[in-house]
């Protein structure tokens, strides 16, 4: 089963390519109206945002498979941290680093989350 990532705001193509090399299935949703994101969130294991997308309760309530929220850049004020923790999501961000390093750090975080998810699935099956 592929690890599915919803990228809500534009990131570098190199970052997307790195995640695809890891076997992740990527959906580029930065041109989608933000109001539509909660409707499709249930399909994804991870969401990557920058500052334009707000990861709030309505989105998180619908994201039943979600394990990781990645914020490319500084700050987490656009993420409902309380709700994310409540439902067991890992939230990572990439403060004080350049764009290429941000994508590499997000890739590493997603690799870890993917491995944890796979391990948990093996334990319960």
> Worst-scoring range by mean pLDDT, 24-38, 39-53, 110-124?
110-124
Strands laid side by side in the 25-28 sheet: 25-28, 4-7, 46-49, 68-71, 90-93
List strand residue ranges (DSSP E) for 14-96, in order. 25-28, 46-49, 68-71, 90-93
Tell me which residue has tokens 């394990």. Answer: 67
pLDDT at 122 exceeding the cut of 70: no
Find the mean pLDDT for residues 13-24. Answer: 83
Q: Which CATH number is 66's domain given? A: 3.40.50.720
Domain count, the chain: 1
pLDDT exceeds cutoff 60 at 120:
no
Q: What is the value of pTM for the model shown? A: 0.80
**Sequence-distant (≥ 6) Cβ neighbours of residue 3 within 8 angstroms:** 22, 23, 24, 25, 45, 46, 110, 114, 117
Smallest Cα–Cα separation from 20: which of 121, 112, 110?
A: 110
Average pLDDT of every residue of the chain:
83
| Residue-range definition of the domain harbouring residue 42 | 4-124
């Amino acid at each position: 089963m592929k690890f599915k990532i919803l990228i809500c705001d534009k990131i570098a193509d190199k970052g997307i390519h790195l995640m695809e090399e890891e076997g992740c299935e990527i959906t580029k949703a930065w041109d989608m109206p933000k109001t539509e994101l909660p409707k499709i969130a249930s399909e994804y294991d991870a969401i990557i945002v920058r500052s334009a997308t707000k990861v709030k309760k309505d989105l998180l309530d619908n994201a039943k498979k979600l394990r990781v929220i990645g914020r490319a850049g500084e700050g987490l004020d656009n993420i409902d941290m309380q709700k994310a923790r409540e439902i067991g999501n890992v939230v990572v961000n990439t403060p004080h680093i350049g764009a290429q390093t941000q994508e590499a750090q997000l890739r590493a975080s997603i690799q870890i989350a993917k491995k944890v998810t796979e391990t948990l699935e093996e334990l319960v099956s």
